[in-house]
């Protein structure tokens, strides 16, 4: 067992001052047991905890670190920007650079507005869709996460067409009533919802490749179906690409699958590790935003010069290198290794991967939605997770999170990981 005494001491102190000791619940290790470790340094694909232990990281700060941690170009850009001031609250040139960059990489985005988080981006895109369509109800899918805005913290009720129940205390049931929650990858459920709520549904919001309940892919034709049915019913199609944007392709999942949504939400990668989000899409919809239109949306720190500098440096680096080919290669290597490890350990594992995102579920059944994901053996995952952690490999501390590769991972890192996976699986 490796020692984490300094981490443990910090966590004990944190518990006294921060609810649960963490500033975001997923960090608390509740799903896997044990205590979180504290990190004070990260570089490339590695993080170091305060006790000096080193880990190969497959969380990548939950998605942003596609170039690895502390990429020199991002660090240099942030330092240079900081020398000129950390916030102006007045338009700055890098906001224009960033907007042009996003619009050029993602052709469905004609205009874009920056926010400070993915949560804000999703919340704002929904408000905009409601304002534009003058309709109140929205459709989301069970297991898709769109940040912690009130009307989005709703999971499936008992029947697909019944109104949602809030997932969190503090969300009034009346808000949740306007959110219709449906199973992912089930076209019939969408058809039925549109039929039962004619001219009432403002939008469908969806993670095109859901990565917040592990990782599963759209069935062939499913995203095309969502595009067609929203169009036919006068509803806005919102792709939440906070996780998949600039990761699954330069233009995100929409490029990879060839779909043109009306609005898209971004975050994570576009901030290069600084707090950021964005939403954008059709100009006629975006022009409904204040100050042009009646839908209000704002932010003191939106378009922050440090966040813009980090994001621009990261996107430029992704654009000018063969990042996506490399990520695909690393992903394929990891996939083969993990499948072989499971096979030789005689464990049922369903391994899903899309480019540099992956999830191994401890189940023999295919996983196409959150109900399938729930069949995974979480007790087995707990042991697997801790086995890997003690071997210096850090996966997200839950069976229901995606893993992320970065361009800073090497073939040797993957080999090392696959060895650790094989050892951990044999001991299960």
> What count of other Cβ atoms lies within 10 Å of the Cβ of residue 271?
26
SS3 424: helix
Q: Which residues contact 143 (CB under 8 A, 6 or more apart)?
A: 155, 184, 210, 212, 213, 369, 370, 373
Q: Which of 57, 142, 186, 240 is catalytic?
A: 240
The residue from 7, 53, 108, 119 that contacts ligand PLP (CB under 6 A) is 119
Q: Write down the least CB distance from residue 324 to ligand PLP, Å.
A: 19
**Closer residue to ligand PLP in complex, CB, 247/333:** 247
Please give the DSSP secondary-structure letter assigned to residue 23. S
Annotation marks residue 145 as catalytic: yes
- Residue in the shown chain whose Cβ atom is closest to ligand PLP: 118
Closest to 190 (Cα-Cα) out of 225, 241, 242 = 225
What is the DSSP annotation of 48-87? EETT--EEEESSGGGTT-TT-BT-HHHHHHHHHHHHT-S-
How big is the CA angle at 280 (ends 274 and 285), to the nearest 5 degrees? 150
Instruction: Quote the tokens at residue 289.
Output: 């935003």
- Write the binding mask 195 to 224 for ligand PLP: x where contact by CB under 6 A, - elsewhere: ------------x----x------------
184 contacts ligand PLP (rule: CB under 6 A):
no
The residue from 240, 255, 372, 413 that contacts ligand PLP (CB under 6 A) is 240
Q: Which residues contact 277 (CB under 8 A, 6 or more apart)?
A: 114, 115, 116, 117, 118, 119, 120, 121, 242, 265, 266, 267, 270, 271
Q: Of residues 30-59, which lie at the interface with ligand PLP (CB under 6 A)?
A: none
Q: Write down the least CB distance from residue 24 to ligand PLP, Å.
A: 7
- Write the binding mask 264 to 303 for ligand PLP: x where contact by CB under 6 A, - elsewhere: ---x---------x--------------------------
Closest to 252 (Cα-Cα) out of 387, 383, 108 = 108
Count H helices and E strands in the chain, helices first. Answer: 14, 16
Q: Write down the least CB distance from residue 402 to ligand PLP, Å.
A: 9
**Closer residue to ligand PLP in complex, CB, 112/122:** 122
Q: Of residues 121-160, which lie at the interface with ligand PLP (CB under 6 A)?
A: 122, 145-147
Looking at the DSSP assignment, which residues form a beta bridge with residue 49? 39
**Closer residue to ligand PLP in complex, CB, 81/126:** 126
**Closer residue to ligand PLP in complex, CB, 131/252:** 252
Give CA–CA dist 243/220, Å, rounded: 21
Q: Which of 268, 324, 361, 394 is catalytic?
A: 268
Q: Write down the least CB distance from residue 61 to ligand PLP, Å.
A: 11
Instruction: Quote the tokens at residue 392.
Output: 């210096």
Annotation marks residue 35 as catalytic: no
What is the DSSP annotation of 231-253? HHTT-EEEEE-TTTTTTSSTTHH
Residue the block writes with tokens 């901030």: 271
Closest to 366 (Cα-Cα) out of 357, 375, 358 = 375
Annotation marks residue 324 as catalytic: no
Q: Write down the least CB distance from residue 232 to ligand PLP, Å.
A: 25
Q: Write down the least CB distance from residue 143 to ligand PLP, Å.
A: 11
Q: Which of 145, 222, 288, 361 is catalytic?
A: 145
Which listed range, 112-120, 132-140, 197-205, 311-319, lies at the site for ligand PLP (CB under 6 A)?
112-120
The residue from 14, 193, 243, 248 that contacts ligand PLP (CB under 6 A) is 243
**Closer residue to ligand PLP in complex, CB, 7/179:** 179
The alpha carbon dihedral of 178, 240, 253, 23 has a sign of: negative
Residues that bind ligand PLP (CB under 6 A): 117-119, 122, 145-147, 207, 212, 240, 242-243, 267, 277
Catalogue the active-site residues. Answer: 145, 240, 268
């Amino acid at each position: 067992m490796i020692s984490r005494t300094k981490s443990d001491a910090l966590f004990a102190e944190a518990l006294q001052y921060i609810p649960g000791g963490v500033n975001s619940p997923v960090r608390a290790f509740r799903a896997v047991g044990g205590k979180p470790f504290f990190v004070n340094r990260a570089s490339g694909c590695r993080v170091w905890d305060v006790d000096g232990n080193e880990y190969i990281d497959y969380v990548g700060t939950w998605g942003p670190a596609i170039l690895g941690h502390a990429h020199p170009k991002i660090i240099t850009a942030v330092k240079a920007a900081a020398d000129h001031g950390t916030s102006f609250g007045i338009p700055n040139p890098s906001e224009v650079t960033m907007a042009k960059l996003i619009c050029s990489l993602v052709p469905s985005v004609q205009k874009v507005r920056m926010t400070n988080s993915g949560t804000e981006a999703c919340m704002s895109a929904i408000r905009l869709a409601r304002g534009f369509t003058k309709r109140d109800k929205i459709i989301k899918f069970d297991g898709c996460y769109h940040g912690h805005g009130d009307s989005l913290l709703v999971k499936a009720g008992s029947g697909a067409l019944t109104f949602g129940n809030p997932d969190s205390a503090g969300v009034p049931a009346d808000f949740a009533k306007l959110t219709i929650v449906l199973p992912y990858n089930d076209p019939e459920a969408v058809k039925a919802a549109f039929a039962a709520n004619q001219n009432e549904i403002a939008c469908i919001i969806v993670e095109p490749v859901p990565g917040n309940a592990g990782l599963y892919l759209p069935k062939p034709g499913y995203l095309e179906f969502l595009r067609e049915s929203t169009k036919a019913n006068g509803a806005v199609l919102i792709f939440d690409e906070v996780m998949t944007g600039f990761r699954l392709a330069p233009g995100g999942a929409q490029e990879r699958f060839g779909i043109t949504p009306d609005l898209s939400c971004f975050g994570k990668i576009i901030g290069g590790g600084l707090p950021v989000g964005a939403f954008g899409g059709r100009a006629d919809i975006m022009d409904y935003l204040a100050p042009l239109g009646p839908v209000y949306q704002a932010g003191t720190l939106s378009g922050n010069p440090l966040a813009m500098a980090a994001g621009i440096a990261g996107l430029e680096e992704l654009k000018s290198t063969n990042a996506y080919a490399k990520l695909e290669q690393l992903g394929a290597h990891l996939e083969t290794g993990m499948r072989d490890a499971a096979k030789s350990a005689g464990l049922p594992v369903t391994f899903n991967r899309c480019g540099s995102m992956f999830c191994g579920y401890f189940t023999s059944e295919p996983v196409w939605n959150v109900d399938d994901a729930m069949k995974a053996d979480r007790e087995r995952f707990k042991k697997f997770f801790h086995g890997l952690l003690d071997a210096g490999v850090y996966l997200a501390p839950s069976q229901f999170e995606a893993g992320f590769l970065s361009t800073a991972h090497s073939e040797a890192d993957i080999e090392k990981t696959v060895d650790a996976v094989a050892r951990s699986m044999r001991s299960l």
